Amino acid sequence: MKDEPFEKYWQEQFEQFESQPSEGLWDKMSQELFVRQVKMIFNHYFVKPEASFWKKIAIILWFKNFFRFSLTTFNVYYLLTSILLTYSTFNVIDIRENKTPKITSNSNTNIKSFNNARSIQPWLKQQESYISKKDTPPLHTPSKINKMPVIIAKPYHQELTSFYTNNEEFLEPLNPNTINNVGKYTFNENNIAQNLHEYKLRHHAALAFYIAPMNLISNLSILTLSDEKLKSNYQPITSVGLSNFALSAYYEWQKFNFKFQTGLIYSSLKQNYTFNDAFFYNDTLHFQQIIDNSYYNYSYIQVLNLDSLLLTGDTVWFTYVDSTLVPVFDTLNTTEIEMVRKDKTSQQNFKLSVIEVPFTAGYSYSFGKFDLTLKAGTSLSYVLLTKGYLPSTSNDYGVIPFKREQMQNFYINILAGAEANYFISDKLSLSLMPLYRRNVTRLFKNDIPIRLQLQSWTFNIGLKYQLR
């Protein structure tokens, strides 16, 4: 029979393959078998585990990323730098405040308003130090001692009246014949300084309004059927101008040096992107070109069976093309695929409109007219509107509409930043607040195989009004 040479030929090929395999073949097969067994165990024990398992894995991965150095994400190195900066700044301020200024007998601080706690505190410290020196035992003639309290009392008698309107004892003229009045004067002065200092630290509230350009950093990936996260051919383009911006209003409350802020933020986010080379190994079509060297003829319109082709000795080539427009795995649609393939250099974009409620806490330092605060916190965001197109989950160069129904309406962010204030007047200050933001919960629902990570640097510029 004419089939006998054919069968004999393949029998010899298989015997030679088993007895004299190529170098490293069995090692490769053992490695492949090990990989398949690991995948089977992983799919059996990890793909469909209990609900809390993936939450634990997510926490572990977050800690891993937190302790990894990165310039674009908030990590432990940023935290250590903030702590070191805070500690160094505190030491510098403490050293400056402990220095005692030199006071002369004719020193007279020009005080415009005693209602300003920032301006009266240095004067009170000077007078406290100066008058305490005068409360020492006399070393000179009594005539010089009696003249000194009058010199002290007259320049500031009228200016201090607002603090002592109900204090009749203070309004009495000083008796030049006794030194005990100086001690009484010093006692009242110390009480004022202490009360004003406590008032300044205990009571503080303000309203702030900001406008901010934003630098958006977005990472997009797509999940496969085995829940493996793959990078797509999504290539983000850096935004220019005010395509990303935020408007915000804050209410601030301070007790001692600690500040607490909350408010409302409206953010408009837009990301332009293009396509690079395709990365999806499972998003390609294997189509076969057949050179018929066997005893069988195959029709090009039927769906080909690869196993039967190999067993009958046909030569098969595999070519990778963009696949998702092909309804069946055959060779008739190759030309159609190449014709409708989109230009990968074309640009697409998607937009988000988000309203956000932040909650931050920080520690504040004062440098005269300047005020510096280091802060961190969290925020709750709500998606108002979505526009544009996202990369397709099944097509290398396709897009899908970006719909609000695909997203989680609420998601949580972490915040970290600093705030610097320059006081233009007693009530009004110019404020600058750079703020880093990153979402820690998913933006898309679980049944959507898209994972989007949004990070942003917001450079807030605005005005702050002191309420009390």
pLDDT at 246 over 50: yes
Q: What is the pTM of this model?
A: 0.49
Calculate mean pLDDT across residues 109-118.
45
List Cβ neighbours of 295 (8 Å cut-off, separation of 6 or more).
Answer: 2, 3, 6, 312
Q: What is the pLDDT of residue 327?
A: 40
Check whether 401 has a pLDDT greater than 80: yes
Average pLDDT over residues 198-226: 78
Instruction: Give whichever of 53-57, 135-139, 390-394 has the largest mean pLDDT.
Output: 390-394
- Structure confidence by residue, pLDDT tens digits, 284-339: 334 444 444 444 444 333 344 444 444 444 444 444 344 443 344 444 344 444 44
Given a cut of 50, whether residue 61 has pLDDT beyond it is yes
Instruction: Tell me whether strands 315-322 and 284-291 are parallel, antiparallel or unpaired.
Output: antiparallel
Helix, strand or coil for residue 244? coil
d(CA 376, CA 438): 12
**pLDDT class of 1 with cuts at 50, 70, 90:** very low
**Which of 49-53, 110-114, 158-162, 235-239 has the weakest average pLDDT?**
110-114
Tens of pLDDT, residues 33-59: 777 777 777 766 666 665 566 667 777
Domains of the chain: 116-202 (no CATH), 204-276+345-466 (2.40.160.20), 278-343 (no CATH)
Between 283 and 402, name the one with better pLDDT: 402
Rounded Cα gap, residues 279 and 191, in angstroms: 74
Alpha carbons within 13 angstroms on the beta-carbon side of residue 235 total 13
User: Does residue 125 have a pLDDT over 90?
Assistant: no
Question: Of 431, 434, 435, whose CA–CA distance to 465 is shortest?
Answer: 431
Tell me the residue ranges of DSSP E strands in 276-314: 284-291
Measure the CA–CA gap between 62 and 175, rounded to whole angstroms: 73
Look at residues 456, 460, 457 and name the one whose alpha carbon lies nearest to residue 420: 460
Q: Average the pLDDT over 264-274 and give the result.
A: 90
| 343 or 276, greater pLDDT | 276
Q: Report the 3 state secondary structure along 15-72.
A: HHHHHCCCCCHHHHHHHHHHHHHHHHHHHHHHHCCCHHHHHHHHHHHHHHHHCCCCCC
Residue 75 φ/ψ, nearest 5 degrees: -140, -175
pLDDT at 79: 75
Q: Is the pLDDT of residue 467 over 70?
A: yes
Maximum CA extent, the chain? 145
In this prediction, residue 208 carries a pLDDT of 94
Spatial separation of the C-alpha atoms in residues 280 and 407, rounded to whole Å: 24
pLDDT band at 459 (very low <50, low <70, confident <90, very high): very high
DSSP summary character for residue 174? P
- Supply the mean pLDDT for the chain: 68
Residue 65: band (very low, low, confident or very high) from pLDDT cuts 50, 70, 90: confident
pLDDT at 415: 94
pLDDT at 248 over 90: yes
Pick the residue with more confidence: 130 or 54? 54
How much is the pLDDT for 152?
A: 47
* More confident: 450 or 332: 450
* Model confidence at 371: pLDDT above 60: yes
- For 151-199, write each residue's pLDDT tens digit: 444 444 554 554 545 454 544 554 544 444 444 444 444 555 555 544 5
DSSP for residue 312? T
**CA-CA distance, 467 to 251, in Å (whole number)?**
10
Q: What stretch of H or E contains 234?
A: strand 234-237
Residue with tokens 């035992």: 137
Q: Is 232 helix (H, G, I), strand (E, B) or coil?
A: coil
Residue type for position 305: N
